[in-house]
Structure 1
Amino acid sequence: MARRHPVLRGLAIVVVVAAGLAALVVGLAVLRGEPLGERFSFGNTVAVVEVRGVISDAADTVEALDRLRQHDATVGVVLRVDSPGGAVAPSQEMYDAVWRLRARKPVVASLGNVAASGGYYVASAADVVVADPGTLTGSIGAIMEVHNVTSLAEKLGVSQTVVKSGRFKDVGQPLRPMTDEERVLLQRMVDDVLGQFVDAVARGRGMEAGRVRALADGRVYSGAQAREVGLVDELGGLADATRIVWARAGQAGEPRVTHVRMRSRPWWLDLLGAARLPDLGAPGGLLFLYRGPLPG
């Protein structure tokens, strides 16, 4: 039986160990949600960052956008938005992160099936907004839902005693009707947040605030309608958005793309195709959220 040359055996061991280390590094990068281009030099790339489902937290998205802002090989970013919106503060935090990124490199928002309310709020910070003709978008407005189960509680014989420090401490209490004074208080807050939404869109889109306010009655627009009223720049899909950001970054040829996976999303969901599943959860409180029907 022929014996292997010790040098060849040593080289084989080195190759196996190196391959294992490379696989480990790649695996850690994937688990951390980093585009592989951040660890391996593949030349200049466009990063695709997804904002998907109901917005309830901004931490992962903001971290990814801030990281890409500092990454030299990422010459531009496509923000792929498929979201009906959600909580106000996280939507604003994402908007601010897009704005910071936009100051360093081109950002193009690609609107998917639905990019409404808070989803559009985030997208409006991009340099260019691209939507499919049938995208549902717009829904510029704020909503606060307060449930009243007084009648049900009476039927069940349920009552509640509240000890509070001020007359507005239990505004929205579901076991009693809302007073007129409380309704006025909450409406003022909703109107104030609507004003913040209008100002953000006006800033991001370079539009007069009065023009945006005229569109801010909560209605949704198709992508084609949104283009007519100035909320969208171009009609097209993700590939079109990628080509636009590649060209705006001064790059020639076909775009090279890396996809950023959010850390909070388990990698095996993407393998199982669960990335297509809708996020049915919704945060409570004051929302930038579209509540209407979704296209099939």
Structure 2
Amino acid sequence: MLINLSGVDKDNYTLSILKSLEKHNSGSLKITVVMGKTAPHINSIRQFAKTAPFECQVLVNANNMAELMAQSDWAIGAAGSTSWERCCLGLPTLLLVIANNQRTIAEQLQQVGAAISLHVQEIDTPKFTECVAFFRQPENLAQMSEKVVRLCDALGAKRVAQHIEDLTKNEDFANIRRATLDDCRQVFEWRNHADIRQFMFNTDELIWENHAAWFAKQLGNPDFIMLIYQVNGVAQGYVSFTRQSENIWEWGFYLAPTCSRGQGSRMGRLALAWAFAELGAAKIIGQVLPHNIASLKLHEKLGFFRLPEKNDVAQFELSLDKCYIKKQFHSRFKIE
């Protein structure tokens, strides 16, 4: 029999199980207990195993769980995600519900005859004794094993991967990366385009030599960060973050003049997620000229709070503790 109640078992339910088995004439059992290396009660389990009336080995941080499951006739385990691993190997199990989020798994497996479920508080009760007696009957184990093995075919990960691929194969892949010297010319051409210059505080065309020197210098400036937004590996936008204080950064951005519609919010989400995660920013601020309607709408769409204007310039701020940018988008898009 295999006993595994998660890696930690902070309440030492494992010892309660062993003591209950000790009471119920379980001398012929051969038990393997598996615990995580951070489990706080390893010593008490090892101490019990030394004098147990049945054969009992205690393994810590085992790396051959599949083998141990395959070698076992039945198991006592928590009704967590390991339940599906046991199903994959056709292992009949007495499931113990340790947390509320395990109830659904336990109920569903019991409903189809793939396990018997008990609440962990029922370990030292007649109900537990009845369950142990059930699992010690070979014909019961054989019948349950047949039902268990039908549930999982070990191809679930492949199905999930295929489903994700099907969902995303028609979508463009977008990411944010740090700017390099190779981006200097592209950023220069974007910045000097009339469609972009009209929304700049300085609408003059840049001089290449001055821009190249400035760009090279800023690459080494820890208080001024330049990012490039890419779609399918092609640069499509520029974002900068300028440090205002320790955790406050001001951002600026523009898309390539030829960029398709709808990329602004995508670039914005990626850039903000990057700033909160990589710069440790607590607040991002932005300034927008009143005639830049698209940027005004984008700031509002991204969740920025609009402040009173200064010198006829719209002021925005976004605080990490008042938004979900980092949580939502750091995992959704690739951030380098």
The answer to whether TM tops 0.5 is no
Considering only CA atoms, is the larger Rg found in Structure 1 or Structure 2?
2
Bigger relative CO (Cα 8 Å, ≥ 6 apart): 1
Please tell me the TM-score bracket, short chain as reference: under 0.3
